[in-house]
Amino acid sequence: MALAQKLLVDIHTHVYLPRYAALLRARSAVPRILSAPAGERLLILDHEPSGGRPVGPQYWDREEKIGFMDRHGIDVSVVSSANPWLDFLQPDDAQRLATELNDDLEAYCAQSPSLSGGMKRLYGFGLLPLVPGVPIPALLESVDQISKLPHLKGVILGTRGIGAGLDDPSLSPLWGALSSANLVAFLHPHYGVGDAWGPRDNGHVLPLALGFPFETTAAATRLILSGALDAHPTLKILLAHAGGALPQLSSRLASCIDHDPVVASRLAHDARWYLGKLHFDAVAYGPEELGFVSDVVARSAQFGDKKTAGFGYTVDRKLGSRNMLFGTDHPFFPPLSNTDKWRSVVENLQAIDAVSGWGDAEKDGVRGGNALALFGLA
C-alpha cells in the first residue's frame, strides 16, 4: 500500500479500439478515418481545420500505449474511448457496438502486463449507448455488463445524454445504476460550446482551449442544477480538463442561483458545495490552476448551508487535492517534434510538482494514490 501510493496513474488517456477504428474507416461522413498519401487522417469535427489530424497506431495499439507509459514513467492507465464515442449511431448499432467495445476493452486491459503485486497496467472506462431513442433499460444493461467486467472501473460520457443533456430527468435511473455499481462517470466534451471564434484562422486553438472546457462546464452545471447530485449522493463524477471553467465560475453561479428563487428552491446546498462532490483530472497545464481547483474543493464543505458563511473560514488547500487525479490526454496533444517525452505530459507533471501548499503526500495522491482509491485498485 505504501508502495502503491507512489504509483503514477493516468486517468485521462484515450484509445480508438481496432473495432472502432475499422468503423471510422468504413464511414463516408464525419467522424471518419480517411486514407491519404501521407498516412491516415482523423476527422472528428464537422469543420476540421487542415483536413483532420494525422492518426496512427498510437490511437489503437496497446503496445504503443504501454510504450508511451514507459517513456513517461506511468505505471497504470485507466483508458477510455476517445470522442465522439457512439454518438453518431442509431440506437441498435450503438447498443451492439457498446457491448462489443466493452468486451474488447476488457480484453485490452486483461491482457496487459501486470505490476508486481498483481495490479494490471491497464484498466478502462466502458461505453454506454447514449444516443437519442435508446431505451433507458438498454443503458442499464450496459451498466450491468460493465460492472461485471473486472477491469472496467467506470464509463466515459459525452454531454448530450440521450439527446436532452445530462440534466434529462429520464437519466435518473442511469445515475442510480452507476452509483450502485460504484462506477466512475468520466464526463468529457466533444462538441464544444458556441461558435464565437470568428472568421480569423486560429486552427484548433479556440474550440480546443475554450470550447471544450465551456462544454464540460455547462454540462456539469446543468447536472448540479438538475438535483442529480442531491438525489444520488454517492455518484462519482470525474470532470475532464480540471472541470473546465466550473471552478472559476462557481461563486458567480452560486450568486445567480441566489437571485433566482425557483432554481434555488430545487437545490439542497449552495452551488459551491457540489464541487466537493466532484473529481477533477489534473489536466490544466499550470500549477496555479491546480492549486485553485484544490481550493474550491477544499472550501466546498463551508457551503453545505445555503447561507453564505461570509467567507470567514480558512481553506486548507491540501484537502482539495484528494479529488484531483493526474491525466495526459494521450494520444492527443502530441509533441511537434520527435522527443523522448511529450511536452504536454511533462508540463502536467511539473505543474503538480509546483503547486504551492501541496506537500509530498498531496502530490503523490494526485499522481496516483487518489486514482487507486477512486477506482478501487489498491
Instruction: Give the DSSP letter of residue 327.
Output: -
Residue closer to a second copy (CB basis): 138 or 254: 254
Q: Which residue among 37, 196, 338, 340 contacts a second copy (CB under 8 A)?
A: 196
Residue closer to a second copy (CB basis): 224 or 238: 224
Residue closer to a second copy (CB basis): 49 or 57: 49
Distance CA 328, CA 347 (A): 10
Distance CA 274, CA 220 (A): 10
Q: Is 167 exposed, middle or buried (0-12, 13-18, 19+ CB in 10 A)?
A: middle
307 binds a second copy (CB under 8 A): no
Interacting stretch for a second copy, rule CB under 8 A, among 18-26, 57-65, 75-83, 200-208?
200-208
Residue closer to a second copy (CB basis): 112 or 328: 328
Window 31-90: residues binding a second copy (CB under 8 A): none
Distance CA 87, CA 327 (A): 24
Q: Which residue among 41, 204, 306, 318 contacts a second copy (CB under 8 A)?
A: 204
253 binds a second copy (CB under 8 A): yes
Distance CA 35, CA 330 (A): 22
153: phi then psi, degrees, rounded to nearest 5: -120, 5
> What share of residues in the chain are helix, strand, coil (percent, to 5)?
45, 15, 40
Q: Which residue among 351, 366, 372, 374 contacts a second copy (CB under 8 A)?
A: 351
Interacting stretch for a second copy, rule CB under 8 A, among 34-42, 86-94, 129-137, 194-202?
194-202
The region, left, alpha or beta by phi > 0 then psi within -120 to 50, assigned to residue 127 is: beta
Contact call for residues 332 and 14 (beta carbons, < 8 A): yes
Window 147-166: residues binding a second copy (CB under 8 A): 159, 164-165
Residue closer to a second copy (CB basis): 5 or 308: 308
Q: Which residue among 58, 99, 217, 323 contacts a second copy (CB under 8 A)?
A: 217
